[in-house]
Copies of this chain bind each other. A is one copy, B any other.
Amino acid sequence: MERIGRYTLSLEKVKLDSWASVVGKKESEGPLGNEFDLTCEDDSLGQDSWEKAEATLQRKALEIALGKLSLKPEGVDFVLAGDLLNQCISSTFGLRPFGIPLLGQYGACSTMALTLGLSSILVESGAARRAAAVTSSHFCSAERQFRLPLEYGGQRSPTAQWTATASGCVMVGKEGPVQVQKVTFGRITDLGITDAANMGAAMAPAAAETLGAFFRDTGTLPEEYDAIYTGDLGQVGSTLLCQLMEKEGYPIEPVHQDCGLLLFDREKQDVHAGGSGCGCSAAVLCGHILPQLAQGKLKNVLFAATGALMSPTSSQQGESIPGISHLLQLVSVQK
């Protein structure tokens, strides 16, 4: 493992050989609807609470990712997981049945990149032969925890995003069709946004910070990548990010895509500024991005998930919303 520049790590040995995506009904009706491994027609997943439903999403994602390799849980040295719920209970209860050593993570909606980046380092360093990176979100559990009771049916702000009911799990090892070539972990970036219904604006500066660090560290330019995926900035955040990157001298617009904009059809699905939640970028990564890398349709992409590190309490106390973004460079092994 080599450090490049100030913030970037270069890896040699890490490959991905299995991944799984599980989504809810609304997500299955979006533009990527037929790319996911499992669609749950009933968002309760047969559970008696939304929190238990979200835990079940994570359980199913890990089960499917294991199943694709005919692997038992004992074949995984560590599972790295986190989610948006208080005390990360969907990870705890979703992963409890497996008995794999758990390294709990918290990066809000950046969690897929955080868990995947750290899993990659564990494998590269020999600490793990294989690690699994998992995360999830659920519209119903997030809505009632962060915003309003579901039954309230209040009007949503145009800048608001729709928390995806989704989970993604990636198996990290030394074989497979996709290579993790670089990892850049982000710094907290806070430009003073206080509107909790405008997470895109709060997270865009963090994505710009991490992307800028990566380009400076590697001496590369945006046009060298087939695509640059951000986590879940939605329409408002994506526009801001492209403006910020333009200003920084790294115009990304021609290759930029946002998982929050890919997951839903904003015209037809009433999601306002786009999708969000830990599960949004996780499901798009596992359902849409990794398969294209595996097939060689994409050769070289950046995946920068973004998180808003606030809580209802911090917002109620007048605090601004700190953002963070972690980034991976993912490369197709197929020439």
Contacts and interface: CB of A to CB of B under 8 A. Distances in A.
A102 B187 contact: yes
A88 B309 CA distance: 8
Contact of A314 (B3, B89, B186, B312): B89
Given A92-B309, A125-B127, A309-B87, A82 B102 contact: no
Q: How large is the interface on A (under 10, 10 to 19, 20 to 34, 35 or more residues)?
A: 35 or more
A324 interface: yes
Interface string A111-134: 000100010011011110100000
Given A127-B121, A313-B89, A187 B103 contact: no
Contact of A322 (B2, B92, B314): B92
A185 B186 CA distance: 25
A99 B7 CA distance: 12
Contacts of A82: 104, 106
Contacts of A85: 311, 313
Nearest to A312: B86
A100 to B, nearest CB: 7
A311 B86 contact: yes
A312 B87 CA distance: 9
A265 interface: no
Contact of A100 (B104, B187, B311, B319): B187
Contact of A103 (B87, B89, B118): B118
Contacts of A96: 188, 190, 322
A317 B187 contact: no
Nearest to A96: B188
A310 B324 CA distance: 26
B108 A106 contact: no
Contact of A127 (B9, B108, B312): B9
Given A87-B106, A121-B127, A101 B7 contact: yes
A107 interface: yes
A201 interface: no
A286 interface: no
A88 B311 CA distance: 8
Interface of A: 1-3, 7, 9, 48-49, 51-52, 77-78, 82, 84-89, 92-93, 95-96, 99-108, 114, 118, 121-122, 124-127, 129, 145, 185-188, 190, 309-314, 317, 319, 322, 324
Given A3-B129, A96-B190, A99-B188, 20 more contacts: A3-B126, A3-B127, A51-B313, A85-B313, A86-B312, A87-B108, A87-B309, A87-B310, A88-B106, A89-B310, A92-B310, A92-B314, A96-B188, A101-B186, A104-B107, A104-B309, A104-B324, A105-B105, A121-B122, A124-B125
Complex A-B, nearest 8 residue pairs according to Cβ-Cβ distance, in ascending order: A125-B125, A87-B311, A104-B106, A92-B309, A86-B86, A101-B185, A106-B106, A86-B311
